[in-house]
Each structure stands twice: as structure tokens, then as C-alpha cells.
Structure 1
């Protein structure tokens, strides 16, 4: 949501946010999702925090996959309209008009080359993605860095585990049901806002891929450092919430 840009307001972002809060009818609300987090999941998250009290998050490569639709983000059904202008009409095609899947990885000092994948990636394809994306990075960093991934089946398969062992790449033991602990989720959020700014939609997969690559390349060093720097607070919130979901 870019109200400042949409309305061409000559004010700072904080002024816009403060005005929205003062209106009395608008509130910044985090979407309430059902993570299906059991007591066992919460216990494992608490254990994860204790195990990683001394982890240097600057030396972790965070990774994830993300789907991008031609018509806009999943669940996007509204936009902020300038009442001084005519309403904007958007396309509404089946399955979001088509989509692309990407794999990405980043660390405090940089990001890895974005990889486009199939929509139903198996372990073999995943290992090919890793071979291209992370092996060159880890070639001289096996002792200093670790790799982070969630517990998707292609990540946790025996063949993928064997692949990591053969490459001598250390993998962080990530707790299940914990997307809120992975800062790349916030990085995807930044990309989504920029790719679909002002309700932007795309006519072709190639156009969307071009926009995704441009947005990925535009992620700044400051943004990456801030996201990695948030790991300490994420850990603290897990403890405060007895293993429950954080505000991230």
C-alpha cells in the first residue's frame, strides 16, 4: 500500500501513518492466520531459541520459495482509491492469470542469484537449484556459514540431506511452523509491494519475471542488514510468547 505515492502527498511516510492512526477508524492489523501450531511445535521453537543463543545470524544464508501471480498477490481483492480519480478496473483471470515460482536466498552482506523453478519442484530439481545458487557461495565459506531452509518435503528428503552432506554444507535445524522466524518472508513482502505497486498486473510470464528480477536486484544492503538484524528480537518474542507466534 503506497498511499503517499498514490495521492502524491508532499509529506513524510510517518506523517501519513500517524494521520491514519489518528483517524480513529483505521488500525494496522496483522493478518490472523492459522499456523496449526501445536504445543509440540511451541516446545521445539523454545528449544531452537535456546540452541541458538550464540548463533551469529550474520553468517546464515536464509532461503525460501515464493509464488508470484500475473494478476497480483494471492488474496488481493482491494486497493486504496483516490476518490478524486475514476476507479481502476483490474483483470480477474482464472488462477491469477498464471504464475511463476522462484527460489531465493540472502544473507547480511548480499543475496544469491534468484532461481525460477517449476510449480511442483521435487528433490532432484531442488538440488539442481542449490547446485547453481549456493554451491559457488559456500565453496569458500563451509566453515563460517550455515544454510537455512524450512521443512518442506523436498528440503527434508533423504536425498537432499545426502546432497548437503556430500557438499559439506551445514544446515540449520529449523523448527516446523516457523515462517515468522525467517526474515526472507519479509523480503518477499518487500518484493510484492514493489512488483504490484498501484495494483500493477502483468500480461505475460516474461513481463512478470523481468519485474521480479528487477525488484530482487533493487533490494538494498540496508534492507538485508536490517532483516538479519531482526533475528535477535524474533528470538526474544518466541520466549515472551512461550514458543508462540511472533509479530513478524
Structure 2
């Protein structure tokens, strides 16, 4: 087959101009009256290798079975966890096959097709009662020590390197300390008991009778469970006999068990407020006043959130099979 007429300079740049303007190879060939091969070679010589959408070897393939919007909707519906792939296909009126729907969902990182756990048939009332018992009726008191000179450990701050380094006064043994006992529930904080001197079983029984029992009875009547750690004064025969005499339901605290008590979060918030802006107290009386003010400032909404966190804390321990959890 013979070669066609050579391109003139005008035709050459006409083809290049149409190509730069986004005109397809087919349309350029039609307008110039030149073969598609001629047009492609001309553009390649001037602009480099050309992607030709008409070339079967360079086509992108079939159009996806679902649009991006349909995929997003499918994933959102599937995440609810109450539909099979066939039901999703029918409900969303997808043109793709059930198998295609399954493959798409399998490629989603946060979705896993897994067997649902078997459980007892619980009504909403059952669930509310179980959660209420687990969250609100187990009382976990705790003690906290506050130092006059601030928390134990190092103090950090954002330092301006253009200014002299700051320092803080650190007296021997922190300048003295105040030990407090307290507890909380969804209704609020208990009155804090200030523990003076070395505590024994008699002191602890006084704290329980004068602080824990009035707080528990006023918020839960007699429907509560009292749990405390295995400190010697908590587990002593004298303390145990007193709790039995007062008909207080108790829960065992296994040795070396994880401490999921959210009151540790309350102590952290109180310490941040007591020692705000690097504050240091001069006397024990000043520190006690600051502690009581910080306790009174704890919001009930915050306490409710801590109560609601108990199932997550317990589940985290279960998932770790009793090992270390983040709480």
C-alpha cells in the first residue's frame, strides 16, 4: 500500500493545535482528512507518546457495577449490622449481583462478616435494670493523698527559652499532706472524709458508718453493693463483722485485680484544680479548703459519664483476659 501525501507545515501545526485543544484523534482525523495513524504519529513526534482511548489495549475496562455514592450508602447500611448482602441489594435497588455486594463489603477495612454472639432474650426493661445495677448500685470508695507542695513527681511546663528557667519550692516530704476518703455515684459526690493520722480498723469503721452508709442510703436505699480493696483495715475481722452486722452487701476484690474504679479520674480532676497554675498551699488548712472547693466543683454530668464508662472498663479487662487494660 502506498504512502499518502506528506503533511504540509500548516497541516502539521493544525493537528497539534487541535490536540492541545482537547479534540479527540477521531475528530482530528475527520477534520483534517488524514488517517488516524498519521494523526497519532504527528502528535507523538511533537508531544511524545499518546494515550489513545480508541486503542483497545489501553481502555480502562468495564464501568464499575456501583457508583461511589452507592458504595458509600451500601457501607453505611451494612455497618448497622442487621441486614444480609441480599437484603442490602434489594433495599438499595442495586444492579450489582449479591456476590459483587459481598466482595465490596469484604474490602472495607472496618467491616468484618462474623458470627453474632448468642445471648439471652432481653427486653429494654431487662437491659435498663441490668445496666442500672451494674453502673449505679456498686459503690467503690477510695483514698487520695494531696501534698501541700503539689503532686508527687515532676512538674512540667511550656518554657520560653528566652526567659530564665522557673522553679518551685519543694519542702521535705512535700511540706505535709492531707489524706481524704470519698466516693461518688450518678447523683453526685459524697462528703469527703479527712483521714487524720495513721488509720486502723476502728478509724475505717467510723468512716464507713459516718460517710459511706448515709451517702449510700440516701441515693440507693438498701439496694447497693459495697466494694473496697484488700487493704488490711478494709479486710480485717473487725471491719468485716461490722459490715455483716449492718447487713451491707459486699463484693469480693480478687488479689492483684485490675482497678477499674473511675474515681481515679475524679481525683485527677480535683488535683488539677487544687494545683492549678502551679499553686502551692502554705498550711494544711489552706490545702483542706482547696480540696473541698475542688470536690464541690465536680459536675454531675461528668460523674454520669464516668458511671456510663463502667461497662467499657469491665469489657476492656475481659478482652485482655484479666491482663493490663488502658483504664
1:214 aligns with 2:310: no
SS of the equivalent of 1:186 reads helix
Aligned to 1:123: 201
SS at match of 2:321: coil
Alpha carbons 2:229, 2:253 under 8 Å: kept: yes
Equivalent position of 2:323 in the other structure: 244
- Secondary structure, aligned partner of 1:103: strand
Hey, what's the Cα distance between the residues in 2 that align with 1:179 and 1:194? 27
- Structure of greater Rg: 2
Task: Tell which has more relative contact order, 1 or 2 (C-alpha 8 A, sep 6+).
Answer: 1
Matched, 1:203 2:290: no
Which residue is equivalent to 2:143?
65
| 1:108 and 2:186 correspond | yes
Question: Are the aligned partners of 2:258 and 2:324 in contact in 1 as well (CA < 8 Å)?
Answer: no
Alignment CA distance shift 1:174-1:80 (3 Å) = farther
- Report how far residue 101 of structure 1 moved: 0.5
- 2:181 aligns to what SS in structure 1? strand
For the residues of structure 2 that align with 1:113 and 1:235, how far apart are their CA atoms? 27
Report what 1:232 is aligned to.
311
SS in 1 for 2:169: coil
Separation in 2, partners of 1:57, 1:72: 32
Cα pair distance change 1:60/1:214, threshold 3 Å: same
RMSD, matched Cα: 2.1
The question of whether the paired residues in 2 share the 8 Å contact of 1:106 and 1:224 is answered with yes
Number of equivalenced pairs: 197
Contact persistence 1:62–1:149 (CA under 8 A): yes
Q: Give the Cα separation in 1 of the matches to 2:261 and 2:301.
A: 17
Residues of 2 paired with 1:159 and 1:218: CA distance?
Answer: 35
Match for residue 302 of structure 2 among 190, 201, 223: 223
Which residue of structure 1 aligns with residue 89 of structure 2?
A: none
Could you list the runs of 5+ residues in structure 1 that have no partner in the other structure?
A: 1-51
Give the TM-score normalised by structure 1. 0.73
Residues 115-165 of structure 1: CA distance to partner in whole angstroms, max 9, x if unpaired? Answer: 000242111001111111022234464531122211111111111111111
SS of the counterpart of 2:259? Answer: helix
2:227 is aligned, of 118, 130, 148, to 148
Q: C-alpha deviations, 1:175-225, integer Å up to 9, x for none?
A: 333463111111111111111112211111011000000000111111111
Give 3-state SS (helix, strand or coil) of 1:134's partner. helix
Tell me, yes or no, if the aligned pair for 1:180 and 1:245 is still in contact at 8 Å.
Answer: no
Please, what TM-score do these two structures have when normalized by structure 2?
0.56
Which shifted more, 84-93 or 214-223? 84-93
CA distance in 2, matches of 1:79, 1:178: 34
